[in-house]
Amino acid sequence: MTFRLHQYSYSETLCKLTYISATCPQSWIHLRDSCYRFSDKALAWRQAQFHCEALGSNLAVVTSQAEQQALASNVKHLTWIGLYRDPKSGSRWLWVDESLVAYTNWYTGEPNDSGGAEDCVEFLFTPHHEVKWNDKNCNRPLRYVCEISGKKEHDFVLILRYFTKLFYCYFRRFSSQSQSLLLFCILPFLM
């Protein structure tokens, strides 16, 4: 077996293998960097979030157009997501995982706080079959989508990639022995 490959190709391959092995739990679907689970029963928003938490997740936190599109192509019902009105400030919205609310995708005229009682956010279908956001009464039972964010795994892979390159470059420079190269390429993956 030889490891005399291009300077980075060995570590890149290991990084890819590490990433692919971070698969989703059974009955969850993998979209982009996260795992999602669409419920088959309807719950009020708060119970839906409790149920996601019990599964080690949160209601979905939709922070980009790409994530919105990935979810939109899989959603089939009115569906709760993890956005809710700040109880302290009626005009502010919060994500359940405290992510910054930078991206939004409200339907035209929403959020309208109809009846002064719409504090939770659902995926809604427009007449053109687009999936947009609407504020709705949190007590209404709806299907919901939970998310296990892949961000942590992704950062983990980036850190591994960085240290692997660091070790590899260091020992490539000071040692031409392939055993040393092997040891210090693999070591970061065992930590």
Residues that bind Ca ion (CB under 5 A): 61, 110, 112, 114, 118, 134-135
When the beta carbons of 119 and 135 are compared against Ca ion, the nearer one is 135
Contact 62, 132 (CB under 8 A): no
Closest CA to 121 of 106, 140, 134, 103: 134
Q: CB of residue 141 vs Ca ion: minimum separation in angstroms?
A: 17
When the beta carbons of 32 and 41 are compared against Ca ion, the nearer one is 32
Q: CB of residue 15 vs Ca ion: minimum separation in angstroms?
A: 22
Question: Strand runs (DSSP E) across the chain, as ranges?
Answer: 29-31, 34-38, 58-59, 79-85, 93-95, 120-125, 131-136, 143-148
When the beta carbons of 43 and 120 are compared against Ca ion, the nearer one is 120
Q: CB of residue 26 vs Ca ion: minimum separation in angstroms?
A: 20
When the beta carbons of 12 and 33 are compared against Ca ion, the nearer one is 33
Q: CB of residue 39 vs Ca ion: minimum separation in angstroms?
A: 17
Distance CA 169, CA 57 (A): 38
Buried b (16+ CB within 10 A) or exposed e, 24-58: eeeebeebebbbbbbbeebbbbeebbebbeeeebb
